[in-house]
């Protein structure tokens, strides 16, 4: 329990503690660009939808009421194994036609820079881990290949 590997709950027992991720979006992208990790370049898009920005995202993205956002959900792979379901939100005015982009062979930040001239300097992130007996079904994947788009 002292090292965070197990958690004890009085009257229930001792359990393996939830895994924790420490890091940031920008640090992981720098690590990815260095080639020091076997992270696949592309991702599989689960959802890319243009919709009105809700109030909480308008505040974070500094948007006016009525402005739209793209909600992008992608499965990221490492050595062709799905490792992350990532959700990202972008102002539609800065990323027109985002739904037409091919994410299968390039990293999101590289695409944003090359297509839209956007260089990410800061990001707000939230991460969590879900215990799911079949994560492929949860995200609607029968073929968990990064190339089956």
pLDDT tens digits, one per residue of 71-95: 999 888 877 778 778 888 999 999 9
Q: Which residues of 31-62 are buried (b: 16+ CB within 10 A; e: fewer)?
A: ebeeeeeebbebbbbeebeeeebeeebbeeee
State the pLDDT at residue 96: 96
State the pLDDT at residue 121: 81
Q: Kindly report the backbone phi and psi dihedral angles of residue 131, in degrees, each rounded to the nearest multiple of 5, phi listed first.
A: -95, 110
State the pLDDT at residue 128: 67
User: Which residues pair with residue 73 across a beta bridge?
Assistant: 47, 87
State the pLDDT at residue 129: 62
State the pLDDT at residue 33: 54
- Asked if 45 contacts 140 with a C-beta cutoff of 8 angstroms, the reply is no
In the chain, beta strands by DSSP E: 6-9, 13-16, 39-52, 68-78, 81-91
- Asked if 89 contacts 108 with a C-beta cutoff of 8 angstroms, the reply is no
Question: Which residue ranges of the chain lie beneath pLDDT 70?
Answer: 1-6, 17-41, 124-149
State the pLDDT at residue 21: 44
């Amino acid at each position: 329990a002292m090292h965070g590997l197990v958690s004890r709950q009085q009257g229930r027992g001792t359990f393996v503690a939830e895994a924790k991720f420490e890091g940031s979006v920008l640090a992981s992208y720098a690590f990815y660009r260095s080639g020091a990790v076997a992270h696949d370049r592309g991702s599989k898009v689960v959802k890319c939808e243009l919709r009105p920005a809700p109030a909480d995202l308008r505040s974070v993205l500094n948007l006016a009421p009525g402005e739209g956002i793209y909600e992008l959900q992608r499965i990221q792979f490492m050595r062709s194994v799905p490792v992350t379901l990532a959700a990202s939100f972008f102002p539609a005015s800065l990323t027109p036609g985002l739904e037409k982009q091919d994410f299968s062979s390039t990293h999101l930040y590289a695409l944003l820079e090359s297509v839209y001239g956007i260089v990410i300097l800061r990001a707000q992130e939230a991460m969590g881990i879900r215990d799911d007996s079949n994560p492929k079904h949860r995200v609607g994947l029968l073929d968990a290949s990064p190339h089956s788009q």
